[in-house]
Structure 1
Amino acid sequence: MKIFERLKIEFKKKQLKNKDYLFLFEEPPEDEFVAFDTETTGLNPKEDDILSIGAVKIKNNQILLSERFYQLVKPVKEINEESIKIHGLRKKDLENGIDVYEAIDKFVRFVGNRTLVGYYIEFDIAMINKYFKKLSGTTLPNRYIDISGLYYDYKIGIIPQGNVDLRLDTIIKDLDIPTFGKHDALNDAIITAMIFLKLKSI
Structure 2
Amino acid sequence: MFRTIKNYFNKKNLKDEKYLFLFDKPMEDEYVCFDCETTGLNSKIDDIVSIGAVIIKNNTIVSSKKFVKFVKPKTKLQADAIKIHHIRECDLADAEDIDDVIEEFLEYIGNRTLVGYFLEFDIAMINKYLKPKLGIKLPNKTLEVSEIYHDYKIDVIPQSYIDLRFNTIMEDLEIPSLGKHDAYNDALMTSMIFIKLKNLPNVKIK
Query: Which bin holds the TM-score, normalised by the shorter protein?
Result: over 0.9
CA deviations on 1:101-139 (whole Å, 9 max, x unpaired) are 111111111000000000011110000000011111010
CA deviations on 1:126-182 (whole Å, 9 max, x unpaired) are 000000111110101000000000010011111111100000000000001112132
Alignment gaps of 5+ in structure 2? 201-206
Residue number among 159, 162, 175 corresponding to 1:161 in the alignment: 159
Inter-partner Cα distance in structure 2 for 1:62 and 1:80: 36
The answer to whether the Cα contact below 8 Å between 1:105 and 1:132 also exists between their aligned partners in 2 is no
Inter-partner Cα distance in structure 2 for 1:179 and 1:65: 17
- Aligned residue for 1:90? 88
- Aligned residue for 2:4? 6
Inter-partner Cα distance in structure 1 for 2:77 and 2:195: 35
Inter-partner Cα distance in structure 2 for 1:78 and 1:188: 23
- Aligned residue for 1:35? 33
Residue number among 115, 132, 135 corresponding to 1:134 in the alignment: 132
Inter-partner Cα distance in structure 1 for 2:3 and 2:179: 39
Q: What pairs with 1:62-101 in structure 2 (closer than 5 Å)?
A: 62-101=60-99
- Aligned residue for 2:107? 109
Instruction: Please report how far the alpha carbon of residue 185 of structure 1 lies from its aligned counterpart in structure 2 after TM superposition.
Output: 0.3
**Residue type at the aligned position of 2:189:** I
Instruction: Please report how far the alpha carbon of residue 29 of structure 1 lies from its aligned counterpart in structure 2 after TM superposition.
Output: 1.0
| TM-score of the aligned structures, taking structure 1 as reference length | 0.96
Instruction: Please report how far the alpha carbon of residue 5 of structure 1 lies from its aligned counterpart in structure 2 after TM superposition.
Output: 2.1
Alignment gaps of 5+ in structure 1? none
Instruction: Please report how far the alpha carbon of residue 11 of structure 1 lies from its aligned counterpart in structure 2 after TM superposition.
Output: 0.8
Instruction: State how many pairs are aligned.
Output: 200
The answer to whether the Cα contact below 8 Å between 2:40 and 2:78 also exists between their aligned partners in 1 is no
RMSD across aligned positions (CA): 0.9
The answer to whether the Cα contact below 8 Å between 2:70 and 2:96 also exists between their aligned partners in 1 is yes
Q: Spell out structure 1 runs of 4+ moving beyond 4 A.
A: none
Instruction: Please report how far the alpha carbon of residue 35 of structure 1 lies from its aligned counterpart in structure 2 after TM superposition.
Output: 0.3
| TM-score of the aligned structures, taking structure 2 as reference length | 0.94
Inter-partner Cα distance in structure 2 for 1:160 and 1:81: 40
The answer to whether the Cα contact below 8 Å between 2:49 and 2:70 also exists between their aligned partners in 1 is yes
The answer to whether the Cα contact below 8 Å between 2:51 and 2:68 also exists between their aligned partners in 1 is yes
